[in-house]
Amino acid sequence: MLNNRFDYPGIPGGMDSIDLVIFDCDGVLIDSEPIASRTLAETLQGAGIAISAAEAHVKFTGNSESIIAEMCRREYGIGDVAALFERWHLHLFEEFARSLMPIAGIAEVVNSLDRPKCVASNSTMQRLRNSLGKLDLWSAFGEGVFSAELVPRPKPAPDLLLHCADRFKARPSKCVMIDDSVHGVAAAIDAGMTAIGFVDPADPRPGRRAALDAAGAAAVATGAAELTAILKTVGGRL
């Protein structure tokens, strides 16, 4: 069911007037977040930290690695975070190679677009190449895969989204950002873009639609089919 925010004015002119469609990566394009949470929890457990995969999923999902590193230092007293992350990445990338899949139906959404499109992720380029880069979806974006490493501040700051708009010579007011986190929604709003929240139907966290709606998303889609419907009506009332 589509989010009933009927006062949403959309983008005048509909899809034909959209300059750029921006996708978050983890949790929108690829089903990577459960793998990342589990492997991070296992790595922290190896360092003597009592944390479950479910707790790690709630605590860390949506944050950049620099923020996660700071959380590990501050909350768990881990001094050598670089060594911890090296162990985590080794474990994580092995699991990505073994079991990573795209979000169900998202490849069809991406390939159906006749607008310019790109990826704006808080992940590092190393992680993007070892996750999205292992799937056919990578080729759909060409050179348009951007990491928060390219800008001073990750999402929820608008820096990365404005960088994307600049690279594509796109007007921020004519850009659509699709993100599964409140950080991404906040970044889109601060950048002057239309924010569409996305919820993976398999996401175990409760209240995701409500959280994205409360963050200011113009619409929230659960799954690829709803996302397609929203994109088709982005020029009118949702």
Q: Which residue has the higher pLDDT, 22 or 61?
A: 22
> Taking the CA atoms of the chain, what radius of gyration do you get in angstroms?
17
Cα separation, 139 vs 102, in Å, equals 13
Same fold for the pair 14-31+101-232 and 33-99: no
What class does CATH assign to 14-31+101-232? alpha beta
Cα separation, 38 vs 44, in Å, equals 10
% of residues, the chain, pLDDT over 90:
82
Whether residue 4 has pLDDT greater than 50: no
pLDDT at residue 13 in the model: 55
Residue ranges of the domains in the chain?
14-31+101-232, 33-99
Cα separation, 147 vs 128, in Å, equals 8
Report pTM: 0.85
Q: Does domain 33-99 have CATH number 3.30.1380?
A: no
pLDDT at residue 203 in the model: 85
Cα separation, 137 vs 142, in Å, equals 10
**pLDDT tens digits for range 188-225:** 999 999 999 999 998 888 899 999 999 999 999 999 99
